[in-house]
A and B are shown apart, each in its own frame.
Chain A
Amino acid sequence: AQTVTQSQPEMSVQEAETVTLSCTYDTSENNYYLFWYKQPPSRQMILVIRQEAYKQQNATENRFSVNFQKAAKSFSLKISDSQLGDTAMYFCALARGNTGKLIFGQGTTLQVKP
């Protein structure tokens, strides 16, 4: 069975600071994708960043980067220069191949404080 665990229910960070959200997962697959989705109060699910398991290089998207440790099955999200608009719930997710069946973690609520 595939599982995704986010052990931090809530986090807070000061504006302009850096914060790291943790995620661990378990899968027996070799071909899989990992994602971080953001859900602001508006409820919309927005893709933040994605990582293919076969790529060793960590994905980056502007202020967002991941630390992908395949052997440890860890996929943390680092947000640099945090902005008030980053306040949201963040979900880590795992998909086997291109099935589109996402297994989500429990979510981490991030509060960016001015």
Chain B
Amino acid sequence: DTAVSQTPKYLVTQMGNDKSIKCEQNLGHDTMYWYKQDSKKFLKIMFSYNNKELIINETVPNRFSPKSPDKAHLNLHINSLELGDSAVYFCASSHRTSGRGNTGELFFGEGSRLTVL
């Protein structure tokens, strides 16, 4: 069974469109994340949710809106897509709560490659 799964794995769309990427984890973790990897392979955190509560929100444009219906799911919706949004988006999860075997390790999904034309 896949621990952290993202859909779709590839997404090609036109500028100005709205798109969503879904993420689910079956590890029982309480915290989920979205990371962005740009064309130079640089990875940077975008958002983090702990038990459905937003706890990290980096300087990301308002066009990006994460939604966490429950602690096993964290979706990313992007409005009015721009060329610069082309990247690989990684979902990840971890056990953040203290005293529950927190190792600090993040488990990543396989990434979703978004191409904006």
What class of interface size applies to chain A in its complex with B?
20 to 34
B25 at the interface (CB under 8 A from A): no
Given A44-B110, A45-B108, A99-B56: A89 in contact with B41 (beta carbons within 8 A)? yes
- Number of interface residues, chain B, beta carbon within 8 A: 27
Q: Does B75 contact A (CB under 8 A)?
A: no
A46 to B4, CA, bound (A): 12
Does chain B have a CB within 8 A of A11?
A: no
B42 in contact with A104 (CB, 8 Å): yes
Q: Does A13 contact B (CB under 8 A)?
A: no
A97-B104, A102-B35 provided; 20 other pairs, C-beta below 8 A? A33-B104, A35-B105, A42-B110, A43-B88, A43-B111, A43-B113, A44-B108, A44-B110, A46-B108, A47-B107, A50-B105, A89-B41, A98-B102, A100-B94, A100-B104, A102-B43, A102-B45, A104-B42, A104-B43, A106-B40
Residues of B participating in the A interface, judged by any CB pair closer than 8 Å: 31, 33, 35, 40-45, 48, 56, 88, 90, 92, 94, 96, 98, 102-108, 110-111, 113
